[in-house]
């Protein structure tokens, strides 16, 4: 059974830990002004970087190309009423959301 979890975000740069698929990760979400997009960094529970600079785009699993890392979940960004609209600085966590999708 597939389970969807919304990762709670707000329209500001942030760093937090979250348990997904039985593992605790550190997430850093920041705004890339020159590119006008949100970026995600993922670290292990000790803060060691796993992936850096993942653009928060819509329409795809953000981790699909990193399948060899066996995260056990997908990350998908989506905007209310317009699923293919990329999250803007002001909409993150408001009408634009980040979901973790697990398959136990």
**Overall average pLDDT of the 41-66 stretch:** 97
Q: What is the DSSP string of 3-40?
A: EEEEE---SS-EEEEEEETTEEEEEEEEEETTTTEEEE
| Element (DSSP H or E) covering residue 97 | strand 96-102
Segment 33-49 shows an average pLDDT of 97
Which residues, including other chains, have CB under 8 Å from residue 67's CB and lie 6 or more apart? none
pLDDT value for 104: 58
Host domain of residue 72 = 3-102
pTM of the model: 0.93
Q: How many domains does the chain have?
A: 1
């Amino acid at each position: 059974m597939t389970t969807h979890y919304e990762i709670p975000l707000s329209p500001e740069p942030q760093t937090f830990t979250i348990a997904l698929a039985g593992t605790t990760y550190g997430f850093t979400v920041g705004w890339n002004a020159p590119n006008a997009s949100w970026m995600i960094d993922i670290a292990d529970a000790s803060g060691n970087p796993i992936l850096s600079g993942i653009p928060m785009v819509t329409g795809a699993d953000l981790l699909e190309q990193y399948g060899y890392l066996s995260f056990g979940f997908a990350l998908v960004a989506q905007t209310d009423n317009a699923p293919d609209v990329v999250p803007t600085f002001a909409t993150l966590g408001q009408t634009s959301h980040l979901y973790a999708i697990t398959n136990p």
